[in-house]
Each structure stands twice: as C-alpha cells, then as structure tokens.
Structure 1
Amino acid sequence: MSFVTDQVRRIDALLDRLQLSRPTTPSADDEEAQAVRSELVEDRERIVQLQFLIKLISPPPSAKSALVPLYLVRSALSQSRLTQSRSILTPGIQSREGGEHGEAQDTSSPYERDLEWVLMSKATTQIYGQLLNLILEQTIPLSYDIDYWDSVLNSYRYSALYSIQTSPLRLWDFGQEVYRDVRQRAGVQGITEGVEGSWRQFYALVRDVVRERSVEDVRRRVVSPLARVRTECRKKRDALRRIRSMNANALGVLLGEGLSNRTMHEKGIATPMTPEFGVSDEDFDERRDKWRGTIVKSIALMDAVLANVNEEGMTVDAFDPAVGAATDDDRFYRSSDASISSLGPQEVAERLHLLLETRLPNYQASFEEQVKIHGRPSRLIRYWFPATVLLLSSGTILRILVNRKEEILTWVRDFGVTVRDFWANWVVEPARKIIGTIRHDEGSEISIMSKRSLEGDRESLERMVVDFAVQHPENGSLNEAQIADIRSKVKEGDLTPVLKAYEKDMQSPFFGVVRGNLIRTLLIQVQKTKVDVEVAMGGVDELLKSQELLFGFIGLTPGLLVCIGTIRWLNSTFGNRKTTQSGRQTGKLLHGIRNIDRVLTSAIPTDFGELMYKDQGLLLCDVHLLRQDAGKVMPKQIYRDFLEDVDELVDVRIGVKKQQKIVKRIRWAYAKWIQ
C-alpha cells in the first residue's frame, strides 16, 4: 500500500460520506416528494445505469489498491453518454438542447444530476490518483539513471567502458552525417559523366567529407580522448536532474493544490453530520457546492500541470508561475463554488475525456522519449561487447569441451562420489551414532577395552596370590578363614604375603632365582601392575561413556558446518536471493532516512515555514520507497505505527522544523529495524 493509495481511499471515503449526509426525503404527503418519485420512475433506466457506473469505478473495500484501471474510467465516461449529445444517444428521452448559442439545456431530475456529479467526482478522484501514481513511479527510477551517470563520470575506467559500449552508435551517427553531407554536395555539384564518372565523383566526395570530419573530431578531442564522452554524460545527467526536479515540482503542486490538500484542510467538506438528524438542506448544498468546486478546480489544475511539466525549455523556477497563469485563464479554476452548478456534468465529462485521451498520453510519450534520450543505455548497448566476445570464442570453448570430454566426465563423476562419501561418512554416520547413543544402543557405545578383561585379570591375580601363600606359609598351613582373608585383601590390592617373600628373596637374589620364588613374586607383581592399569583404563572408559553424546555432536559438527556453508553459498549465488534481499532491507531503510533528512535539511522553506513544491515532491518519492522497504521488514503492528508517523511526516502544513523532529522520532523509535 502506497501513499497515493491512502490518499485516493480517503478522498473516495469522504465523497461517500458526503452522499450519506444527504437530507432525509420529504414525507409521502408532500407534493415535492411525489414529484421526485415521478421523476425517478421516468428516469429509472438512466439512474440504474449511473449507479452501476459509479460502482464500477469505486474501489472495493477489500482491495489492496484503491486505484481503478484507467480503461474502466474511460469506459464509464463513455457509457455515461455525458461527453456526447444526450438527445442523439438516448432515444425516447426529451431533447435537452436549446437556449442561446446552441448550448445544452439540462432538464434532468435533481437526483439524476447528483448521480452524474458523483460519477464525475469518482472519475476525477481515480484520474487524480493515477496521475499521482504515474508521476511518482516515473520520478523514482530517474535517481537510478542519475547514479549511473555519476558512476561513469567519477571513474575514467567506466568512462572508457561507456565509450566502447556506445561506439557503434557514434559510428552510426558519423555514417549518417557523412551520408547526408555527401548527398547534399552531390545534389549541388551534380553527377553527369556516366556511371564510372559518377562513382568516381561519389567516392571522392565521401573521402573529402570523411577527411574534413576526421580533422574536426581531432581538433575537438585535443585535450582528452574521453572529453567528448564525459561531456555527453554530464549533459544527460543534468537533463535527468531537470526532469526529476520538474516531476517532483509537479507532484508537489498536485498534492499542495489538488484534491489531497483541499479535502484534508477545507472544513466545509470535512464537517461531520449530526448523528441524529444529519445536516440541513442549506448545509448540505453548501458542502456539495464546495465539493463540486474542488473537483472542477482539480481538473483544471491537472490539465495545467500536464500541459507544462514536459514543455520544452521549461525550468523549475518558471514552472509554478506557468501553472498559475494557466489556471488563472481557465474558466474551471476561476469559477466560484456557487457558480459551479452552471457548468454541468457534461462539460466536466468532456474535460476529463480530454485529460484521458490527450493530456495523459502526450505526457507519457514525452516523458518516455526524454528518458530514452537521456537515460542510461539499454542492456543491448551495455552488454553487446561481452556478448560478442563470448559469441566469437564459443567455437574455441566448444572445441575444448569436446576434446576434454572424458576428463570432464571423470571429474564430474569423482566429484559426485566425493560428495556422496562425505555425506555418508561425515553426516549420516555420526548422526546415526548420536541416535544410537540416545537410545542406549550397545553397538554404538564407546569403549577402549573389553567388558570382561578386568574381571578375568583380577581373578587370575587372586588365584596367584592365594596359591603362593598356601605353598609358602609363614607359620604353618593356612586354614579356610586365613585364605578367605588373603583373598579379600587381594581384591583391595594388598599383596602382603607375596611382598614379604619378595623382600626375603631380595636379600640373597641368586638363591631366590635358583629356588624360583623371586621370579614368581616378580611375575605376580607384573600381574598386579596389569590389573592396576586396567582399573585406570576402566575409569577413563566410564568417563568416555558419560560424555559419549558430546563426542557424537563434536564429530557431527564439521560435516554440518560444511553442508550449511555450501547450501548458503548456493542459495545466494543461484537461488532467488530472497534471504540476501531481506538482509539488505536494513541498509535501504537507513539510506531512505538519510535521503529524507537531506531533503528537509537542504530545503529552503517558504515564508510560512513549509516546504516548497519541488522539495515536497522529492520528500514524497523518498517516503514512498521507505514505506515499501519498511513493509518487508517490520511486523504488522509496528508497521501500522510506522505508517502513522510517515503520514504525519508528509503533511507539509506542520512545517519543516516539526518534520525534522518526526524524522528523529522515526530514527530512534524504529532503530531496531533501521540500523
């Protein structure tokens, strides 16, 4: 939804509100009521047709845009038969022509006349909105073309590239000039010496003309070979700036003097009716006359703006006086509210028909012609050089592809296998292990030694120590209680019987080795060391099992990071770039706020502290873009609050200082989405 849509919807709603405030119908016994009913019965077909046409060009409440296509407005005006003689097109209806000088004498009923005025009001509102939208949509892209010329002028490399891009056009213009000059000289000199002599003279003329123009071009480019190109770019940029200023000025005039301003600030139109009894006949007639006066003056204003905005040689400073002079000479604009009724809907319809059929098409054609001349070159001109290089080298590229077909296929095949193995080994398999860990799958548990290894080695150590203690008792044979005590101590790591024997044999190692006890005790201690190592490894094993899920996610992370990075790169390179564009919206909002602040800061206010029409138009263009960008980023509730602040910002009646304060409020209130 744009600013223009809001304005049109508000004006249309105000018009409907004015019709609803119509005074109540007289009682059934009143003679005037009977006369009205008799007229309604006679003109029933005409009234039904007008009601249908009014509904046709009224924006539906549920539609996103309040603008109706112009072909519907044109069709409604044509079907209303107001632009042609009613006596000719409406068989069976009494002739309404007469009076002095052949002017039409309106004998229609008051209700039918009101419906005709409502139709004209609806049509004027739609044409007004379409004109605002057209100028707005045409002015905004001019900034992009101006930026293009700025980039060309700010870099000699881009200037040289532009010179190469436009070289065919300059060569064509040079050939056309040579052809015209040769033709002119040949017509002056005459060629009468036969075919061979004619061709000889013709080529001599061509050679002379080319030589003269080449010398002239060399003199013109003595300073720099790119001077002529840069001068041409500078002229086009200045022309686009003038067109943008003219359109912005026209937009400001339409907003400041047209329907938007009059319906918003004139109390006579916006006066609410009383809820119980509506309005009186006098109040309603006054408000109706004011509304008709607003419609008629807006038509004259649109006509004057369209007639002068693309006038050749028109400057920004002369535009406002030219529009003022045109409206002062216009009978529609000079008419007072009380004398509007003397015009009649037929004259208004004819003026609207002139706007639709002549003024608007001429304005569009003139604007498109100027943009075509001064705008940036078309894509065909900008990209013909790389396209030509690609076309000329296509044979070589195709030959390379054919000669290296097997290598390319092998590379593609290996690349596919690599991607598949990476996916299976670094994404699928770690994910499967994580799922198994969560489900306590025994096959997926991390383990650095077998489950029964420690138990077997501990039982073996216990048997070794018990056998040694039984075979070498210190104080006689051991009973069952003593053996059980030794076994329990071995489980706790106590090898006292073996260590005592080891200490005794160490006093005479040679005899201990001969008897075998020393070696046996050493081997038992080796088994004890093995058991201690396995106990330590068991603790490490338990620690790994407690962090098994963490290790699983660590193993999965590299594969996921590579996949996510690849997908994001592919999406930003070959995708629809929605994510990238949404990321750039913040920068666009900040740029829009900066442009608005720049317009308000550099503007020279009027004596009343308000923006001039040109600055008002530029402000509206920047606000229009800001609204569109904000709608893509902000939530719905925040966006509604944002629209309230923006609508207050474009109201130039509050003054430049208050507008600057509103910009500051927007900057800090919506900093989350702007910065």
Structure 2
Amino acid sequence: MSLVIDHLSPVDGQLDRLQLSKQPSAPSSPELYSASDEARDHSPGARASERGIDLARVLKLQAAIKILSTASSSSALLSSETILATLEQAQALQISACSSEEHIGYTTQEQELHWFLVSKAATQTYGLILNVLLEQTLPLSSDVGYWNEILSSNRFTGLYTIQTSPLRLWSWANDIYNDAWQRLQSIRSAGDSGKEEKKERSISDRWRQFYGLIKDSVRDRSLADMQSKFLSPLTMSRMEARSKRKHLKKLREMSASGLGILMDEGMIFDVDDEGSVSSKSRSNSQEEWRSVVSKSVSLMETVLGNITVLELGAGEFEETVFMSVDDDSESTQHGAEDQPSSQAARLGYRLQHILRFHIPGHIATSRGLAIEYGRPSRLVRYWLPGLALFLSSGTLLRVFVNRKAEIITWICDFGDTTIDFWNNWVVEPMKKVIGTIRHDKDSEIAIMSKESLQGDRASLERMVVDFAIDNPSTSGGARLTDAEIVDVRAKVREGDLTPVLRAYEKDLRRPFMGTLRGDLIRALLIQIQKTKVDVEVAVGGIDNLLKSQELVFGFVGLTPGILVCIAVSRWLSGVFAGRRGRIQGGKQGSLIRTLRNIDRILIGSTPTDNGMLSYNNHGMLLCEVHVLRERARRILPGEIFNEFLEEVNDLVDLRTGIERQIRVAERIRWAYSKWLR
C-alpha cells in the first residue's frame, strides 16, 4: 500500500462510521420501509408503486456506494473515469426521480444515500489528487539535482552548452526570420500605392530585397545582443541553468505546499481514534459532515487552480487558497430553502468539473512546466554521439562486410575453444572425481603396476638362494639343508642379504680372482637387483599415499576449470546482469540519502505556533517518506517492513510535533541500521 492509500483508507472508514452513527441502515426490501412513508398515502396501489421506485433507486445507490468504497472495491484508489461514471449514474437517478409522473422525488433516506455517495466520490477524488501531486513532485527533485550537477563544474556546463547549441542556433535563426518577415510585411503594406510598380518587379528583385532584410535583421540583432557578447557561452549556460533550477524549485515548493494543505486540511472529520463520533459531532453531525465534504471539495478545486501559478510564492499561495475557500459561499453555507439532494447534486457537479477539467488541466500544465524547466530531452542530450554513430555507420558496415569471413572464423574458434575447455577441464575431471568416489578401478592413481614388485622380489629371492647354494662357504662351509634354504629365503624377504655380502666382501680382497670366477660380478648384480626392489618398495609406498588422497587430487585437477568458469560467469554477470549487487548497494545508499533529506527537512524547518511543520515542509516530508517506503519495500523483509511502516506513520503524523518526529527519524536510523549498511 502506498502513502496515499494508507491515508485514504482511514478517511473512508470515518465516513462509514459517521453514516452508521447517525441513521439506521437503508432499506433493502419493501418490508423495511418506514412507517412514516406508509402514513403519507393510505392507497395500497400508490404505496406499492412508491415502494418499488424507491427500492430500485436505493439498490442502485447502494451499488454505486459499494463501488466507491476503498474496502469493497478491487482497487483502493479508483480512476477518474470510474468516479465520473458513478457520479453520472447518481445524477441520472436524481433526474429520473424528479421527472417521474408521480413527482415522488428523493425520500429522506435516499437523500442521505446520495450525500453519502457524493462524499465517497469526494474521498476518491481527494485520493486521486493527492496521488497526482505526489507523483508530479517526486521527479522535480531529480531535475533539480540535474541542474545542480550542470552547475557543479565547467566540464558539465560545457557539455550542456554543446548539447543545446542546435537549439540556440535554431532559436536565433527563427528570430531573424520572423524579424525579416515582419519588415517585409511592413514594406508591402506601406507600398500599396505602387502596386503597378511591384508587379513589374522580378522574382530575383524580391529575393534580393528579402535577403537584404535578413542582413539588416542580423545586424540589428547583433547590436541588440552586443551586451551578451561580452559573456562567454559557459556563463550564458550557467545563467540559463540557474533560471530553470529556480523555477523548478518554486514549482516543487508550490506542489509540496498544495500536498501539505490537502493532507492537513482536507477530509478531516470529528471522529476520535476509537472510531466513535464525539458529542459535538453527534449533536449536529449532519451539518458538520456535509460542511467538511463541501469545504474539502472547494479546497481541492482551489489548490488545483492555483498550484501552477509560479508568480505566487508558497506563502501567497496558501493565503490565496484559504481566502478562496472562506469566500466560497457554496462551501461554507447553504440556503435554508436548499434541499439536501440539491446540495449534493451541486457538489457532484463540482466533482465532475474537477475530474473532467481541473485534474487533466493541472497534469498538462505541470507536465509542460516540467518539460520547459526540467532536464533536456534525450534527443538533445545524445544528439552528438548519435550523429557520430550515424556518420560512422557506413565505415563500420564496410569493415564488417569486408572481414565477414574472419569474424565468423573468430566466433567459431571461440566457440570450439569454449567447448573444448568445458569438456577437458570440467567434464572429464568431474567424471574422474565421481569414479574415485565410486571406487572405480579405472580411475585409481598408480605409478607402477601391482605385479612388478612381486616379480622383482621373487627374482631376488631365487638369485640369493641360488648364490647361497652355489657358495656354501658363505653359510658355514657345509651344503645347505632345506631348513636353511627356507631361512635364507625368509631373510631375503626381510631385506637380509648376508650370504651375498659375505662373498662380496671376500672377493673384494682379490677382485681380479673374484672377477675371473664370476662371484664378484654375480654378487654385484644381486645387490643391483636388491636396490631395484628397494626402489619399488618406496614407489609402492608413494602409490599407497596417492591412493589414500586420490579424491583430493581429483578435486585439485577440477579446481582450475571451476575457478575459470566462476571468473567468467562473474564477469558476464557484471557486464550483462550483474548490477544486482551494485543496485542493492545503491538502494541502501538511496535509503540513507532519503533519511538524510528527511532529517534536513525536520531540522531546517521553521515550526508554526503549534510547534508543527508548515504546509510546505510537510509536503516535502511526505514526498521523501513516500520514496523511503517504496525503497524500503525492496530491501526489508516482510515482517520487518510492517514494523517499519509503524515508524513511518509516526514520522508523518503532524500532530506529534517536530521534536518527536526528529526522534522518530533517529530511531529509524539505529533500529534499521542492519539493512542500511
């Protein structure tokens, strides 16, 4: 719900409570018709006819009231077309009642229903005007910020001068042409006596005369603008920017004043917070209720008629509005001879006039002023790069056509490279990781095969046993028994090569003889085989270590591809759609800036005698609070946002005074600082 709807719903509820507090429900069937109506005519036929006509009108009025109610309608704020159609329907019902053959007219209850319908329509029109003023005031701050940026540096001022140079040239040429044309017309009117001579003049003489007039206009224009020639183009642009900013600020001030007046003075009924009517209002509730609605309609009409008159200041505008409302005899008092139905009819006509003329006229006038004094259009701001792009479009097109094959090749190569990278560095490592998790034998990491170590160890055992059998002197001098052979074999498995080393040490004493016998070379080769087995045992340990950390190595192989994919995706998201983070940060920053604007309004405002904000400051506060609500809706969670709305309602409550509003603004800053960082 927006700020306008939050304000409109209680007003509509107050109308419902006022209606219920002063009369019973309208009849919905012929049996509920009042006894006083039966006493008017004892004729059963006439009474039945009267009841049928009254019941039909009552039902139509009730249906129209239901359409205008914020609680029962599909949209809390209706369009002007819907409100107009409902008012025209009520007007047609009254005309048909007064022009019927029996001349029955409106009954008392129908008059009350008609007044209630007009009040509902006034409430909807009131909300529609508030929404229009709010929506038209908000963009003005952005345009004022644009002119502040233009005036902030010479670079932006120079850019604005270049952007608006075609408009300045066109305006100057148009002035020259109009001046020359007026001179030509004056010459023609002064020389009517010589028509015969004019006819004989050739077309070239006429063009020569017109060209001479243009030269004279240019010379006179240059002399008239001699003072402006002493000013640089940047200075003239700054003067123009200051003038437009001044008018925009005044328009924003007037709109804020109108918004504050309508919010503070419009549709204020004497109903307390609990929803009951006070004793004063109950004693004369009918006149009080109608007077409030009538004055509110007059207030809306006066505000819309004077809000775009920039010659008035905010103070003069407020005085004019209240003086006009006080002087409006139709809104302040009603003649004794006037019937309530005629009063409601006149009020309905005024509402129709507001909806048909005042609101569209205000929208058109405000839009025209915003266009005149606001930032230039996109065509003016971007004509230079657009012209450069248009002039270079032929060259760019030729480059694309001449290098069409190369561009297509680059695109294809880029696509193939991307696909190969995805398959080789992402898909394949992922498959290996999945295979490792599932203990796939094809995915096991191994430096050597399992059978290699077993074969080399068995060969070493045979070599050592054969050497010990052939050289029994290394084992005690006797032939080895089977038990000794088994013992030698067991020692070899444990890495003990004592028989070979003894023979090796013995032959080293006489290496030449050992070499001739071959025992030294044989012992040396056995030791080489032992070294090979030791190396394979170490490699086997490394294999076991790799197998125990196979999943880690799989993820290590997958990491480069994943990192590259993440980097590319983040880059693409930053180029195309990755402004979400920056947008989120911008939203939080905009919330802080909005709170800063609210704080400036509250602290910098001059309170009235009652210690409350002025109409202008209250309107500006409402605009900033509306922006705050809409931006907080996108950031705060649902439950937190509902609590935030309570703080906002306290912030815009004018009756609490400026001091309490300042404290509420401070509470918002520290209570919701988590979402503002």
Match of 2:481 in 1: 479
1:301/1:333 contact within 8 Å kept? no
Q: Write the distance in 2 (CA, Å) between the matches of 1:218 and 1:552.
A: 82
Q: 1:52 to 1:459 in 2, by over 3 A?
A: same
Match of 1:352 in 2: 351
Q: CA RMSD in A?
A: 3.0
Match of 2:514 in 1: 512
Match of 2:258 in 1: 250
Match of 1:148 in 2: 146
Matched, 1:526 2:525: no
Gaps of at least 5 residues in structure 2 are 41-46, 192-196
Match of 2:216 in 1: 208
Counterpart amino acid of 2:141?
S
1:369-407, Cα deviation, whole Å (9 max, x unpaired): 111111111112222222222112111111111111111
- Displacement of 1:573: 3.1
Q: Write the distance in 2 (CA, Å) between the matches of 1:197 and 1:24.
A: 90
Q: 1:13 to 1:562 in 2, by over 3 A?
A: farther
1:498/1:521 contact within 8 Å kept? yes
Q: Write the distance in 2 (CA, Å) between the matches of 1:570 and 1:331.
A: 68
- Displacement of 1:575: 4.1
Note the 1:258-337 alignment, pairs <5 A.
258-259=266-267, 262-263=268-269, 266-267=270-271, 271-272=275-276, 286-335=284-333
- Displacement of 1:91: 3.6
1:40-62, Cα deviation, whole Å (9 max, x unpaired): 54412211221121122223558
Counterpart amino acid of 1:133?
N
Match of 1:68 in 2: 78
Q: Write the distance in 1 (CA, Å) between the matches of 2:335 and 2:522.
A: 129
Match of 2:559 in 1: 557
| Aligned with residue 239 of structure 2, among 228, 231, 238 | 231
Matched, 1:46 2:57: yes
2:294/2:332 contact within 8 Å kept? no
Q: 1:444 to 1:19 in 2, by over 3 A?
A: farther
Q: 1:459 to 1:593 in 2, by over 3 A?
A: farther
Moved more, 157-166 or 616-625: 157-166
Note the 1:581-660 alignment, pairs <5 A.
581-660=583-662
Match of 1:452 in 2: 451
1:518-546, Cα deviation, whole Å (9 max, x unpaired): 22222222222222222222222222222
- Displacement of 1:651: 0.8
1:141-192, Cα deviation, whole Å (9 max, x unpaired): 1111112212222232222222222222112211211112112222333476
Moved more, 26-35 or 508-517: 26-35
Give the secondary-structure state (helix, strand or coil) at the position aligned to 1:452: helix
Q: 1:130 to 1:460 in 2, by over 3 A?
A: same
- Displacement of 1:331: 2.4
Matched, 1:79 2:83: no
- Displacement of 1:335: 3.9
Q: 1:392 to 1:610 in 2, by over 3 A?
A: same
| Aligned with residue 103 of structure 2, among 68, 85, 94 | 94
Q: Write the distance in 2 (CA, Å) between the matches of 1:379 and 1:10.
A: 42
Give the secondary-structure state (helix, strand or coil) at the position aligned to 2:290: helix
Counterpart amino acid of 1:233?
A
1:292/1:337 contact within 8 Å kept? no
* Identity among equivalent pairs (%): 47
Give the secondary-structure state (helix, strand or coil) at the position aligned to 1:81: helix
1:631/1:639 contact within 8 Å kept? yes
Q: Write the distance in 2 (CA, Å) between the matches of 1:561 and 1:479.
A: 67
Q: 1:6 to 1:331 in 2, by over 3 A?
A: same
Gaps of at least 5 residues in structure 1 are 96-106, 274-278
Q: Write the distance in 2 (CA, Å) between the matches of 1:339 and 1:482.
A: 144
TM-score (norm 2): 0.89
2:157/2:238 contact within 8 Å kept? yes
Counterpart amino acid of 1:59?
T
- Displacement of 1:216: 4.6
Moved more, 581-590 or 107-116: 581-590
TM-score (norm 1): 0.89
Matched, 1:164 2:162: yes
Q: 1:69 to 1:452 in 2, by over 3 A?
A: same
1:242/1:315 contact within 8 Å kept? yes
- Displacement of 1:232: 0.9
Match of 1:467 in 2: 466
1:112-155, Cα deviation, whole Å (9 max, x unpaired): 11211121111111111111111111111111111221222223
1:83/1:349 contact within 8 Å kept? no
Q: Write the distance in 2 (CA, Å) between the matches of 1:180 and 1:23.
A: 70
Q: Write the distance in 2 (CA, Å) between the matches of 1:581 and 1:144.
A: 18
Moved more, 130-139 or 584-593: 584-593
Give the secondary-structure state (helix, strand or coil) at the position aligned to 1:43: helix
- Displacement of 1:68: 0.8
Note the 1:96-115 alignment, pairs <5 A.
107-115=105-113
Q: 1:497 to 1:345 in 2, by over 3 A?
A: same
Match of 1:276 in 2: none
1:316-358, Cα deviation, whole Å (9 max, x unpaired): 2212211121111122543499999857211211221121122
